[in-house]
Amino acid sequence: VGAGEGGRGGGGRNTVTSVGRTAAGCLATVLSGQPQLPASTLAWINALRAEAGNRLDVLTLPTLRDEEWRFTDISQLTKLSFSPALSATYLETADIAHFYVEEASTRLVLVDGIHAPQLSSVTSNSGMVVSNLPTVLATHAAAIEAHLGRHAAFRDNVFAALNTAFLHDAAVIVVPRNVALAAPVHRLFIATPKEAVTTPRCLVVAETGSVVPGLGDYGQFSPPRVAVEPCLTRAVPRVR
């Protein structure tokens, strides 16, 4: 269940018209893992998580009766037992090298929604910052607070709310004013096969006059001879 931040918000307002159990009721097993998340040192992030969790007590999961979901039946998800992914599976470069984009000199990799520095390759360029959420918060807290959770419409979108309730890491890119990048920044989100909910998130803060070509890929790593287990992942990348 992924989310991102950007100018257009959550990719459209997700108005749920079905009558049924709330998301909190359907996803009780998933939400039981929320208390396992370590509290942030920043009160506003803890408040953001709490508000998103409260929205899950109101919002319901979409059904085939909802216009935007009439071709996608997710009812089976409510019958499976998912746990939140609180740690990333360790992968090596050879495991995911086929996902790499040669044109990108900067690559930011998150596995199961959590930053994987051993797989990432970041080139310093004109003051651009490319890292994960905890790292960027240490130096750009004000800029992050101004945008994180402001554009992903979690108050009306059940999946954005679920993502925000488990907010603990994210891919973050900050591009200074009037900086134009020639090579793309590759954001790579990898899910590993386990019965888990992953919450990938991306925030791009591109200041006035900046140009940042970006690529966002989502893949799944499946070890040889290992059956792929159910994994609930939804991503909504946005740029601000």
| Residues 174-224: tens digit of each pLDDT | 999 999 988 899 999 999 877 778 889 999 999 999 998 988 999 888 765
The pTM (predicted TM-score) of the whole model is 0.80
- pLDDT of amino acid 198: 85
* pLDDT band of 153, cuts 50, 70, 90: confident
CA distance 52 to 148: 13
- pLDDT of amino acid 6: 53
> Which of 220, 212, 155 is CA-nearest to residue 184?
212
- pLDDT of amino acid 14: 43
CB 240 within 8 A of CB 203: yes
pLDDT in tens, 90-130: 999 999 999 999 899 899 999 999 999 999 998 876 789 99
Q: Point out the least confidently predicted range of 46-55, 64-73, 213-222.
A: 213-222
Asked whether the predicted pLDDT for residue 147 surpasses 90, the reply is yes
| Residue spans of alpha helices (H) in the chain | 23-26, 28-31, 43-55, 93-96, 133-147, 158-165
